Structure formats: C-alpha cells, structure tokens
Amino acid sequence: MRNYVYPAQMQTQSMGKLSVRVNSQANLRPIENATVKITRTGDPTNVLEEIQTNSVGRTETIELPAPPLDYSLEPESMQPYSEYTLVISAPGFEDMTVSGAQILPTVTALQSSQLLPIVQPETSELFVIAPHTLYYEYPPKIAEDEIKDVSNFNIVLDRVVVPEYVVVHDGPPSDNSAKNYYVLYRDYIKNVASSEIYATWPEATIQANVLAIMSFTLNRVYTEWYRNKGYSFTITSSTAFDHKWIPERNVFENISVVVDSIFNNYLSRPGVKQPILTQYCDGVRVQCPNWMT
C-alpha cells in the first residue's frame, strides 16, 4: 500500500478505509469487474488507486489518508475528513463520477453506486457530494412543536409503522424543480447520520443521534406532514425543515451497523401516539435552548 500525505495530514498521519459496491440501476444486480478509479478531489489526473469489483459487485477494502482523529472529536477549524473522487465504469453501463467522497480516520466508508445501462453513447453521471453539516454552515432548523397538532390532518396509519421507503424531496418544500428520490428507510437514516455526525464518535453518541434522526423521520411519516400540506413526498433534504440528505454520498460502516440494530425504535412520550419531532443543533455554532445538542 502506498502512502499519500496531504497538507491536512502532515502533523499526524491517519488512515481511513473505503469499500465500494456497484449494482445495475435497472435490476439492482451486482456488477462484476466494474472499475473504480480513485483520485484526490482537486487533483483528477493523479490516480491513487484503481480497483475492481468481485462477483458480488464489491471491491476490496482499501486504506486512504485522512486528517488526524482529533479534528472530528473536538470543534476544529480544520476539515476533519479527506475528499476523494471516484470514477466508476463497467462495460455496457454509463460511467459515474462521485466527487467529494468523505473519508474519516479509523473508520470504513461504504460507497454504494447504481450504474445506468447505456442508452446512447458518451453519457455519464456526475454527483458532487455536499460538505458535512458540522463543517459547512447550512440554514439552521426552523423551530417546530415536537408534538404536532394533527386534529385537522388526514392520518391513514392507526399506529406508528416503520416504512420500507421514504420519498425525499431534494430541496426546500416549495422548490418545484427539486427532484424526488425513493429511498429505503434504513438507507435514508444511514445517509443522514453520515451527513450530520462523525462516524469517529463513541458508539453511544452515534446511537443517541441515530435515535433522534429516526424519531424525527417517523414523526413526518406518521403525521404525513407534507402530504397533508399538498406535497407528494415524505421529507425534504433542507436543513431548515428536516435533515441533510445527500444523493450518492458514502455512509460509514459503524453507523450502518447501529442503524440496522435499532431501526425500529423511536422516542415518544406517555399518552402520545406519535413519535417526537426530535430537533437538535450542534450547540456550538448554533444555540438551540431545550433542544438536543
């Protein structure tokens, strides 16, 4: 394994891990012998690694340089993750480029990508991964009641049900140009958690944050909050209204394990059927009294 040292890692060299899974978007079957070229974002001509998928569409797990662990454990001005660009290709499929895949030290990043069969030549997909919410300043959450008044709502569910899918509107509710994505519920929670907390945190901290994300999401599901307002989606990707969800971003293996272990849990209050709309902020750049931080 070659060692690549970037300025952010000069003080203390750390390593993170990456594994890539590639499926066909047409039938979700794994793609064997897909090629993944990895470069540092901002330096696309220098290929650091080139790996291929096996018979189940997965690559080997490789190590990549990442910033020091302390950057993600304490408030820092330095970016706590490295950014890489992945160019994924396979015969008969459109190329896909994922720019800005985030690698944290000591943990494994999982990149799952679905390639489109070629319909016309010279086509490709590009996904640019937005910065992490703890490193970039997104619009703060607009405060809401944690228990919603649904007396005038049309609620179909007679109990809280964990859905198989959620429909994510990739923008503010009023943005009619934003795309809607059908996302597996567990995959949605993993994506949001990987976008809003650092996978290097203690497991108990990750569990608490995942539980808060699930409770918030299930409140939207149970109350059919947006559908009762005339929209055709479950939740948005806007931090002002909901959680940050990023199409095609990598998630982290330890966060994925936590979600799979507690995915059917949520927070509630005695005598209240609906899950709590658990709002939270970082408590450092944004102050939110009486919320989770």
DSSP 29-85: -B-TT-EEEEEETTEEEEEEEEEE--TTSBPPPEEEEE--THHHHS--SS-SSEEEE
3-state secondary structure (DSSP) of residue 235: strand
| pLDDT beyond 80 at 50 | yes
The pLDDT score that the predictor gives to residue 246 is 98
Q: Which single residue is written with the structure tokens 């949520």?
A: 266
Q: Rounded mean pLDDT of 220-242? A: 96
Domain boundaries, the chain: 7-128, 130-293
**pLDDT tens figures, 177-200:** 999 999 999 999 999 999 999 999
* Phi, psi at 250, each rounded to 5°: -75, 150
The pLDDT score that the predictor gives to residue 103 is 98
Amino acid at 227: R
| pLDDT beyond 60 at 21 | yes
CA 70 to chain CA mean position, Å:
22
CATH 2.60.40.1730 fits 7-128, yes or no: no
- For residues 57 and 32, the answer to whether their CB atoms sit within 8 Å is yes
| pLDDT beyond 90 at 292 | no
| pLDDT beyond 70 at 11 | no
Cα dihedral 278, 284, 288, 291 sign: positive
- For residues 83 and 101, the answer to whether their CB atoms sit within 8 Å is yes
The pLDDT score that the predictor gives to residue 100 is 98
**pLDDT tens figures, 167-178:** 999 999 999 999
Beta strands 95-103; 35-40: pairing state: unpaired
Q: Rounded mean pLDDT of 259-264? A: 96
| % of the chain exceeding 90 in pLDDT | 81
